[in-house]
Structure 1
Amino acid sequence: MMTRYLLGIDNGSQSTKVTVFDERGVTRASARVPLRPNDTPRPGVVEHPEDDLWDSIGAATRAALASFDGRPEDIAGVGLCTIRFCRALLRADGTLAQPVLSWMDERVSRPYEPTNPEVRYVSASSGYITARMTGRFRDTAANYQGVWPIDTDTWSWVDEPAIPREMLFDLVDPGELLGTVTTEAAAHTGLSVGTPVFATANDKAVEALGSGLADDRTLLLSLGTYIAGMTTGSRNVPDAKAFWTNFACRPGRYLYESHGIRRGMWTVSWLRDLLGDEEALNAGAAEVPPGSEGLIAVLDWLAPVEAPDRKGAFLGFDGRQGRFHLYRAVLEAIALTLCGNGAAMAAELGTEFDEVLVSGGGAGSDVLMRIVADAFGKPARRAEGGAELGAAICAAVGLGVHSGFDEAVTAMVRPGVRFAPDPGTHELYRRLRQTYEQVRGYTDPLFGWLARQ
C-alpha cells in the first residue's frame, strides 16, 4: 500500500513551522520561517504587520515541500493550526480589512466593537487562514474562547451572539474538513489544488495532542511564548480558580490549563541574544549549583492585566554570579513557577500527576529537563511531537488514515527521553518554591511605587 503523507502547519507567535509526516508520524521534511516583529504603534496595541501570518505560512510550506522527496500531489491532507486568541477582521472576500490583532493586544480581551465599515467577518486567526487557504468561511470551534460568543458545552455559537451571526464563521470539530486548497492558495504555498485541509484546535491543544497528552495523571509543560501546565479531561469546569477550561483537540474533550508565564520562552530567547550561544549557555548553566547561588528571576517581562505595573527582575546579586547563573535562574523560575501552578490545578481537579511531559523548543535542553524533574520530584519526559504533529494527526483522522484519535496517537506519537528526579535537589527546590510563591508580595509594591514617580 502506498504511503500517505500529511502536512502539519503550526503558525505560532514567533514563527511558522511546517512539517511533512508519513502515516507513522515520521518526519520527512520540515521548514521554519520567523514572523516579523509585531507592530506596536501605541501602548496596548500589538498587531501582526501587513499579511505576515499568511506570508510566513506560504514561505514555510514552500520550503518544506522543496526539501520533501515526494511531490506536492503526494500530500494527502493538511492540518492547520494557528495562534490562539488573535482576532482577524476580514472583508467580504476573506482578505484583511486591517492587521491581525495579536493575543497580546489589549483589544482582544474585550468583545468586538465595530469601527471599520469594511469589516464583513470577525474570526480567529485560524478562520482567516482557512479562508485564504480554501476560500470557505469555516473554522474549528476549538479555537474560540474568552470573549467569543461560544457555548463551551455544545461547542457552538450561543443562540444570540453579541456579534451578528452573519459575521461569524461556521464551526466544525477537530478532524473535520474545512475545505480544499484553492488555485490561488496553491500558487502561494506550493500545495496541489484540491488538497483537503482539516480543522485542528487552539495551538496549545494541538500541541498537547501531538505531544501525546492523554490522561489527567500527566502534566504537560508547554514551553512557548506563553508557558502553561496542561492536563486533559471530559468535563467542562467553568468556575475553577487555579486553572481554566479550554477546548481539547479531540471532539468533546477539554484541556485544563494552569496559570502561566507570559513571554515565557521569549524571555529565554531575549536572554540568549544578550548573553551568547544557547549551547554554551546550557552547558554553563549545568555547572551552576541548583538555586543559582541565591539568584532568582521574577518572570514578568509582560505584565498581566490585573497588575499592570509589574515588571521582570533578577534578585540576589552578590558578586558570585555570572551569565550562566542568570540563565539558570530563568530556567529555575520557569520550572518552579509551573510546579506551583500545576500543584494548585491538580488539587482543584482532585488528581495527582505521576509524570511531567515537556514540549516546545526548551524541551531540547537537558539542563532544563533535569531542573523540571527535580522541581516537580517526578520523572520528566521530553515530548517528541508538538503542534505540527498534532495538526497532522487531525488530518490523518479526517482522511481515515487512522480510525480515530486514539489509534492515530498510538501510531504517530513516540515517547521521548525520560529524566529522573534527584531527591536532594528536589528538597532544595521545594523550599525555594516557597520563595517564588511569595516574592511578588515584595516586588509589586516596589514596581507600583516606581510607576508613580
Structure 2
Amino acid sequence: MIDPYILAVDVGTQSVRAIVFNREGDQIASARKISEPYYSLQPGWAEIPAEQFWDDSCQVIREVVEKLGAGIAQVKAMTITANRDNIIPLDENDQPLRDWLTWIDTRRTPEIIPILRRTLKGADKLIYTVKRSFFEMVAPRSKFNWIRIHEPEVYAKAKIYVTLTGFLTHRLCGVFRDSLAMQVGYMPYEAKRQDWYKIPAVYKILGVRRDQLVDIFPPGSKLGEITEEASKKTLLPAGLPLIAAAGDKMCETLGSGVFSPKQATVSYGTMATIGTTITRYVEDSKLKFYTFASCIPDAWNPEYNIYRGYWLITWFCNQYSKEQGMPEFLNEMNELAADVPPGSNGLFVFPFWTVQPGLYPHGKGMVAGWIDRHTVADLYRAFLESIAYALREGLEIMEKKCKTRTEKLYVVGGGSKSDVAMQLTADIFNLPATRLSNTEVCAAGAAINAGIWAGIYKDYEDGVASMMREHKTFYPIPQNVEIYERIYHDIYKKIYLKNKDLFKKLGEFGHFKSE
C-alpha cells in the first residue's frame, strides 16, 4: 500500500515552512524560507509587504515538490496554518490595497470613540451603551477603524478583508474562504457560536461590513482545490484539495495532544502563550485571556499571551551577542544559565515590553536587582524566568474562570529546546513539563486536520497518537519550587501595582524614531 502524505504550510513570524508528513508524523520533505522582518513607519507599527507571504509560500512549496519528485502523487491533501490577527484589504480586482497590518502592530484609533458616540442611533446606540466599556476598549484597537480614519481612500475601495490563510486560499484556489479558527483579533466574530456576528451594531462599531468578510468553515473542511494558475506558480498538482486548519497556536494545542483542561500547551514562540481545551465556552470580558475556536469540533482554546514572548530572547541576543553569531551565543547562554541558581542571583525581569491590555494596560519592561557582580548569564536566566512567571499567572486566571485544574504541561516552540527553560518551567508552574519529539508541532497539528479529511486518521485522537511522541519530561524540583513561589507571590504579583504610576510617567518620555 502506498504511504499517503499530507503537505502543511506554516506561515510564522520569522519564517515560512512547507513540510510533507507521512501518517506517522515523519518529515518526508521540508523547506524553510527566513522571512524579511516587518517594517515600522512609526513606533508601535508593524507592516509586511503585501506579496511577501505569497512569494515565500510559493518558494517553499516549489522546493518540497521538487524534493518529492514522483512522490508528489502520494500527497492526498494540503493545509495552511499561520500566525493570526493579520489583515489586508483587497480591491475590486482582488489585489492588495496596502501592505499587511500584522499581529505585532499596536496602533490605536482613539478618535473613533467620539465618532461612534455621535453617529450610532436607535438599537445600535443602545447596544453600544449597554456594553460601552467593552466596545470602547475594542473599537480603538480595530484595524478596520484605523484604515477608516487614517486611510479613507483605501477604506472606500476595500471590497474584502482577508487573513493570511484567507489570502493564500484565494491565491491557491480562487475562492474567498477561510477557517473559522483563524478569525482572531478585533473582528466581528462571535467565538461562542464560532461564526460571524448577526448583530449589525458590532460591524458598525468595528468598522467593517459583513459582505467584506469571507465565508468561514470548520477545521477539517475542504476549502477548495489548487487551480491551474496556482499550479504553475507552486508546481502543486491542479485539483489537490486544500483543507482548513486553524491558527498557529490552536494547531500547537492540538499537535501537543491537549484534549482537556487537565493539560496545557506552553508555546515559547515570538508570542509566548499558554492554552488549553474546553468543551464549555468561557470568556473573560476584560480580555485578560482570549477564547478561540479549537480544531476539535464543539470545543474552544482559552489562551493567555505575551506579545513579546520569546521575542525578548531574540532582543536580548541582539543586544549582547556582539560579533558572535546568535545560535552560538544562545547555546552558550543556555550552558551558563544552567549554573545560575533559581532566582537569577536576585535579578528580576518584568517581561511586558508590550502591554497586556486586559491585565497590565500601563505595563513596561523592567529589570530590577542589579549589582556589580551580575553577569549576562544571570540576566538571560531572569528573562526566561520572567516569561514563565507571566504564563503561570495567565494559567491561574484561566483555571479560576473555567473552574479547572491543569496537571501537565506540553512545551513547544524554540524555548522547548533549552533544558534550562524546560526545568524552570516545571519549577515555576510546579507541574511536569514535557518536550515532544516532533519539533514541528504547529505544522503537525495542521496536518492532522487534513489527514482526517483524507481518511488517513479516523479522528483527532488517532491523528495525535500517530504523529506525536513525548521525548522528555521535566519534573519540579522541590527546593527550586520553594524559591520560585516566594518570587512569584512576593515580587512578580506585586510589582505592577507598586509601579503603575511610575510606568505611566515613564511613558511620557518615550520618543523613538521609526524603524
Q: TM-score, normalised by structure 2?
A: 0.83
Q: Do the aligned partners of 1:373 and 1:380 also contact (CA within 8 Å) in 2?
A: yes
1:357 aligned partner, one-letter code: Y
Q: Tell me which residue corresponds to 2:503.
A: 447
Q: Within the alignment, does 1:410 sit opposite 2:465 as a pair? A: yes
Q: Distance in 2 between matches of 1:62 and 1:111?
A: 33
Q: Do the aligned partners of 2:306 and 2:356 also contact (CA within 8 Å) in 1?
A: no
Q: 1:63 to 1:437 in 2, by over 3 A?
A: farther
Q: Distance in 2 between matches of 1:212 and 1:319?
A: 45
Q: Distance in 1 between matches of 2:431 and 2:27?
A: 30
Alignment of 1:297-316 (within 5 A): 297-305=349-357, 310-316=363-369
Q: Distance in 2 between matches of 1:451 and 1:410?
A: 49
Q: Distance in 1 between matches of 2:352 and 2:297?
A: 34
Compare 106-115 and 260-269 and name the one that shifted more: 106-115
- Structure with bigger gyration radius: 2
Q: Give how far 1:215 is off.
A: 1.2
Q: Give how far 1:44 is off.
A: 4.1
1:131 aligned partner, one-letter code: H
Q: Tell me which residue corresponds to 1:388.
A: 443
Q: Distance in 1 between matches of 2:28 and 2:486?
A: 45
Q: Do the aligned partners of 1:94 and 1:132 also contact (CA within 8 Å) in 2?
A: no
Greater share of helix: 2
Counting aligned pairs with the same residue, the percent is 31
1:190 aligned partner, one-letter code: L
Q: Do the aligned partners of 1:79 and 1:393 also contact (CA within 8 Å) in 2?
A: no
Q: 1:65 to 1:282 in 2, by over 3 A?
A: farther
Structure 1: 5+ residue stretches without partners: none
Q: Within the alignment, does 1:237 sit opposite 2:268 as a pair? A: no
Alignment of 1:25-44 (within 5 A): 25-44=25-44
Alignment of 1:38-117 (within 5 A): 38-68=38-68, 71-105=71-105, 106=107, 109-110=141-142, 112-113=144-145, 114=148, 115=152, 116=154, 117=156
Q: Tell me which residue corresponds to 2:513.
A: none
Q: Do the aligned partners of 1:6 and 1:78 also contact (CA within 8 Å) in 2?
A: yes
Q: Distance in 1 between matches of 2:470 and 2:268?
A: 18
1:286 aligned partner, one-letter code: A
Q: 1:234 to 1:409 in 2, by over 3 A?
A: same
Q: Tell me which residue corresponds to 2:116.
A: none
Q: Tell me which residue corresponds to 1:397.
A: 452
Q: Tell me which residue corresponds to 2:337.
A: 285
Q: Give how far 1:264 is off.
A: 0.7
1:47-105 Cα shifts (integer Å, max 9, x gaps): 11231111221222233334447533332211111121111211234332211110122
Compare 112-121 and 363-372 and name the one that shifted more: 112-121
Q: Tell me which residue corresponds to 1:158.
A: 197
1:274 aligned partner, one-letter code: Q
Alignment of 1:255-266 (within 5 A): 255-258=301-304, 260-266=305-311
Q: Tell me the secondary structure at the aligned position of residue 267 of structure 2.
A: strand
Q: Tell me which residue corresponds to 1:250.
A: 296
Q: Do the aligned partners of 2:243 and 2:450 also contact (CA within 8 Å) in 1?
A: yes
Alignment coverage as a number of residue pairs: 452
Q: Give how far 1:381 is off.
A: 0.2
Q: CA RMSD in A?
A: 2.1
Q: Tell me which residue corresponds to 1:197.
A: 242
Q: Distance in 2 between matches of 1:92 and 1:71?
A: 39
Q: Distance in 1 between matches of 2:176 and 2:336?
A: 50
Q: Tell me the secondary structure at the aligned position of residue 233 of structure 1.
A: coil
* Counterpart pick for 1:268 among 306, 313, 321: 313
Q: Tell me which residue corresponds to 2:125.
A: none
Q: Tell me which residue corresponds to 2:117.
A: none
Q: Give how far 1:308 is off.
A: 6.5
Q: TM-score, normalised by structure 1?
A: 0.94
Q: Distance in 2 between matches of 1:261 and 1:145?
A: 15
Q: Distance in 2 between matches of 1:33 and 1:204?
A: 20
Compare 302-311 and 201-210 and name the one that shifted more: 302-311
Q: Distance in 2 between matches of 1:160 and 1:351?
A: 32
* Counterpart pick for 1:430 among 476, 485, 497: 485
Q: Give how far 1:9 is off.
A: 1.3
1:452 aligned partner, one-letter code: E
